[in-house]
Amino acid sequence: MLNYIYSIRQEFIFKMAKNENKDFFRRVFEVVRRIPCGKVTTYGAIGNYLGLKSSARMVGWAVNSLKYEMDYPCHRVVNRNGELTGKMHFASPSQMRELLEAEGIEFLDERVNMKLHFWEPSQ
């Protein structure tokens, strides 16, 4: 029951955020579209680039809203440690990693090798 209530609450928050922050979401979408093949960036890096230093969670909501949009390389957005925290939003838990590996992205255990593959949105 608590999971159901949490899910409803999260959905409400997401819908409110999306409606109130359409411009922010649009700007996130533009950055995500520019991530080069073979590179990854982080939710926080996107937020910093957009001028909202502590907006990683909002960036995550924006990216999650694109989960069915194939024109956006959402699989290239990871957390600051290189972990695939968005993998639950793909068709299978391994799809995000498979897409990244197909682009030549190397992993160190379960994390992207950020030293080799990190892309700074301001570049």
Residue 8 has pLDDT above 80, yes or no: no
Q: Please identify which of the residues 59, 62, 63, 74 carries the catalytic annotation.
A: 74
Q: Is 41 a member of any domain?
A: yes
| 37 catalytic residue (yes or no) | no
* Full residue range of the structural domain in which residue 75 is found: 2-117
Query: What pTM does this model have?
Result: 0.81
Angle at CA of residue 121, ends 78 and 42, nearest 5°: 15
Cα–Cα distance for residue pair 28/44, rounded to 1 Å: 11
Residue 37 has pLDDT above 60, yes or no: yes
Q: Is 123 a member of any domain?
A: no
Across the range 92-109, mean pLDDT stands at 96
- CATH number of 57's domain: 1.10.10.10
pLDDT at 18: 53
pLDDT at 9: 52
Phi-psi sector, 121: left (phi>0), alpha (psi -120 to 50), beta: alpha
Q: Is 31 a member of any domain?
A: yes
Q: Is 122 a member of any domain?
A: no
Cα–Cα distance for residue pair 42/81, rounded to 1 Å: 9
pLDDT at 33: 96
Greater confidence (11 vs 68) lies with: 68
Q: Is 49 a member of any domain?
A: yes
Among residues 18, 37, 34, the alpha carbon closest in space to that of 45 is found at 34
Residue 111 has pLDDT above 60, yes or no: yes
pLDDT digits (tens, 9 = 90+) for 49-91: 999 888 899 999 999 988 778 889 999 999 999 999 988 888 8
Domain count, the chain: 1
Q: Is 77 a member of any domain?
A: yes
